[in-house]
Structure 1
Amino acid sequence: MVRPRTRGRTPIAIILVLLGYICYLHWTESSITTSSSPVNSLADIQITTETKGWAKAGLPEISIYQRPLLPVPKEKMRVVVATMTTGQTTYDYISLSNKIGYVNKHNYAIKVDFALPKDFVPLPFWHKLDMFEYLVRTGDYDWIWWVDFDTVITNTTIKIEDIIADALRDEKNPDNIDLLLTSDCWPLNAGSMLLRATPRLLPFLSSVWKCGDAPKEPSEQDCIRDILNSSPQERSRAKWIAQKKMNSFPEEIGCYDSNNLPWSPGDFVIHFAGAWAHLKGKAKRDPYGVMMRKFHEWVDKTELSGTERYQVLGEGPDDKGRDENVVTVTVTETVSNSAPTAGA
């Protein structure tokens, strides 16, 4: 029998390595880099969620939190994508594989929550504020991209940092902009938002929470809008960009910003907000699933391949005997870029 060399020393070495690793984990979780500027210092900001939120209710029990697969160089922007879903859908695989494939391609982080914290009181969509606060407090990111679960990233070649750079290029004080937002046919759609992961975002989140305590219980979207409109100072922290930049709607959901442009091949992301109110017939049984299955085939393509594509829509056969639940689209040519498909 061959005996291991340095038999007596190996356990001691292992113990020392483990102790060092535990100390490292403790330091990275507890330490936060602070700034000398009061507005940017976590030390000068009190707990923002007084009666709600992760600081009081705790973190959700079911969550995916994947950090970048590779170290992010110091000169690169640190981006995290955040989304949530609290129930099973017919498009879970499409949505998750699409988003995880995208973040892996660009070395971003991703956080997906599948449950609410215990004793969470507000409606589920308010939990996104918990997620913002958590990600800000890690100190690990420069920007957060919140994107609703009922979305498909249809052009994975577009980078978050390029959207941000383009939006801030003409700003006199770009470092003062903390939110990049879009409207639709309403002043704000909170289904796709970019937030700077700075400590000065926390008092803003606190104000949004307090707005939600109003007797009429407004949505988090309404409260974000109202707080931004409450003063010139609050308004100056946000910039609205074109809907097609990061929150396109399909023709089936004709609720567009002032540019009045629906999604088209090559757009970054498509969002099916309010699909339940727009689709008809059998499609109304699973409106979001219908739209997700239809458009995930467009990932990184400008046209679809094949001679026909079918999509369940409509109400039943017409007077000619054709089943109008099936819409036929004839495609004669395919043009696809070389980017890999994420979520198809």
Structure 2
Amino acid sequence: MLSRSLRISPSVCLFLLFCAFLGWQLSHGPILGQPIDPAGPGAGEPKMPLRIAVVTMVTDEKSYIHMSLKNKDYYARRHGYDLVVDFEAHSDLGTTWWKYNMMERLIKSNKYDWMWWIDFDTLITNTDIKVAEIIQETLANATNPDDIDFLTTHDCNGLNTGSFVVRSRESSVKYLRDTYDIHAVAKSRGEQYSEQDAMAKLSRIDPESAKRTLQVPQWKMNAFPQEIACFDESRQVWKHGTFVIHFAGAWAHVKGDDPTGQMMRKYEKEIIWGDWKGLF
């Protein structure tokens, strides 16, 4: 009777074997074809593209207004960025300081992750290149990327603010306001500081502010042409295929009644535009 009570039907044997296999499989990993749970909140989700504003201003008549605006408008449309242009400057500190007012205003709007300031006497000569990728590549090589608020470039005279990138957050606003304080102190001593001078001094005297700024090679987003030989330590002149060309101080290097306009018209022919279809 005992032996008869221990008999197990073939179907029960198969069920027990399946359960044993299933237990072994689960102990060694997920079943083939079963979705794997993400490592944590947000893991595996596609990264959202950076929200970028391309920012510039022009406050008086120039021979190259249409050329410069067309170039920057096309670039912004091509990559889904916003183009922000001011045509008046109301800073008590001087026209060049208005770029900082614009940056502070855009940070407070909460519409962007980063803003790229670019002077009006520039051309984006390779519209294939995305400034968002320059930001991401630069931060990937930083020791503490989350600390960085400003990406700047230098020329032969030091800091050049003709092309720089600002992260949109409160610490950037504090940095900009600290430059105003430096200007105020200099003015009380009878000295005159440009926005560029104030930013450079702030990075020299305040280690915390210096940690928030990262220098990008000049050729990468603020290249000068051979006619304006004022390069950073890389000594790299603009060449065809370079991202941006800047005609800073053309009046001191190029003869003629309209030095900057002459340079703009010369190098306009070098622009890599890409496909216009679908942009308008």
TM-score (norm 1): 0.64
Query: Which of 50, 59, 69 matches 1:96?
Result: 69
Query: Which of 262, 265, 272 matches 1:293?
Result: 265
CA distance in 2 between partners of 1:262 and 1:340 (Å):
28
Query: Which of 105, 122, 132 matches 2:78?
Result: 105
Aligned residue identity for 2:202: I
Could you list the runs of 5+ residues in structure 1 that have no partner in the other structure? 1-72, 302-337
Deviation (angstroms), 1:273: 0.2
Residue 255 in structure 1 maps to residue 230 in structure 2: yes
CA distance in 1 between partners of 2:202 and 2:166 (Å):
15
Alignment of 1:160-179 (within 5 A): 160-179=131-150
Residue in structure 2 matched with residue 272 of structure 1 by the alignment? 247
CA distance in 2 between partners of 1:169 and 1:195 (Å):
16
Residue in structure 2 matched with residue 116 of structure 1 by the alignment? 89
Deviation (angstroms), 1:243: 0.5
Residue in structure 1 matched with residue 126 of structure 2 by the alignment? 155
Determine which structure has more spread, i.e. the larger CA radius of gyration: 2
CA distance in 2 between partners of 1:151 and 1:203 (Å):
28
Name the SS for the 1:77 alignment partner: coil
Deviation (angstroms), 1:85: 1.0
CA distance in 2 between partners of 1:139 and 1:74 (Å):
19
Matched-pair contact (CA < 8 Å) for 1:157–1:339? no
CA distance in 1 between partners of 2:159 and 2:62 (Å):
26
Residue in structure 2 matched with residue 190 of structure 1 by the alignment? 161
Residue in structure 1 matched with residue 106 of structure 2 by the alignment? 135
Residue in structure 2 matched with residue 201 of structure 1 by the alignment? 172
Residue 239 in structure 1 maps to residue 239 in structure 2: no
CA distance in 1 between partners of 2:61 and 2:181 (Å):
30
CA distance in 2 between partners of 1:340 and 1:298 (Å):
16
Aligned residue identity for 1:242: P
State the Cα RMSD in Å: 1.5
Query: Which of 186, 190, 193 matches 1:218?
Result: 193
Deviations 1:135-188 (A, max 9, x none): 000011000000000000000000011101111112232111111111010220
Name the SS for the 1:111 alignment partner: strand
TM-score (norm 2): 0.79
CA distance in 1 between partners of 2:121 and 2:136 (Å):
26
Deviation (angstroms), 1:339: 4.4
CA distance in 2 between partners of 1:275 and 1:97 (Å):
21
Aligned residue identity for 2:51: R
Matched-pair contact (CA < 8 Å) for 1:86–1:115? yes
Name the SS for the 2:269 alignment partner: helix
Aligned residue identity for 1:204: Y
Runs of 4+ in 1 over 6 A off after TM superposition: none
Aligned pairs, how many? 228
CA distance in 2 between partners of 1:111 and 1:217 (Å):
28
CA distance in 1 between partners of 2:208 and 2:180 (Å):
18
Matched-pair contact (CA < 8 Å) for 1:156–1:339? no
Q: Which has the higher helix share?
A: 2
Aligned-residue identity in percent:
41
CA distance in 1 between partners of 2:171 and 2:113 (Å):
12
Residue in structure 2 matched with residue 45 of structure 1 by the alignment? none
Deviations 1:116-136 (A, max 9, x none): 23xx42220010110010000
CA distance in 1 between partners of 2:224 and 2:174 (Å):
31
Name the SS for the 2:214 alignment partner: strand
Aligned residue identity for 2:230: C
